[in-house]
Amino acid sequence: MRATSWLLTLPLGLGLGLLLAHGCGPPVGGPCDGAGRCVCAQGDRCEFDCPTQHDCDVRCDSVAVCDAGCVDRCDLACVNGSDCALTCQHDCALACDAVATCDSTCGDRCDYHCVDTAVCKVSMGQDSAARCERVGTCEVECAGACALTCEAAGTCELACAGAEAIDCGGGRKVCAPQAC
């Protein structure tokens, strides 16, 4: 009986050890509720890699490094931290607020918002929009029609696939066939 009980608790102990070693938690478990909303607060590192998960909401708050990713229809946010890397495929909202760097990648129909951050970088797909406010550098690469709006940015750059960005004035730039 004792050997059976020891064998049953071994996987539980190993699983808990892996959970703690990953920082805030693996894709399932950790600080997530049943609806897929996850919050990681005040720590050195927060990692959420959900390569098969849709409709995932992750918020890193006051962590040194935030590395969050999921498939589609995700809300990923990083606030009051140092370095953020947010990744999503399609139909996502990515946001960085008051961080040192925000380096992100998203596919089609992405909404990227970067505020009060030193360096904002994003690579986006078709029909996407980026907004940078009060940032040192905002660099956006777009693989199709997309728009970039900058307010109080030291550098505001939009690189379009196969064409030059169109400067619409007032801090707005677009990649054709997107109109001003």
Whole-number Å distance between alpha carbons of 30 and 91: 25
Tell me which of 19 and 80 has the higher pLDDT.
80
pLDDT confidence tier of residue 131, bands split at 50, 70 and 90 = very high
Per-residue pLDDT band at 77 (split at 50, 70, 90): very high
What does pTM read for this prediction? 0.80
Annotated domain spans of the chain: 36-175
Cα separation, 99 vs 79, in Å, equals: 6
Contacts of 70 (CB under 8 A, 6+ apart): 48, 50, 51, 53, 54, 56, 58, 76, 87, 88, 92
Mean pLDDT of the chain: 81
Q: Measured at the alpha carbon of residue 83, what is the angle toward residues 20 and 27, in degrees to the nearest 5?
A: 35
167 bridge partner residues: 173
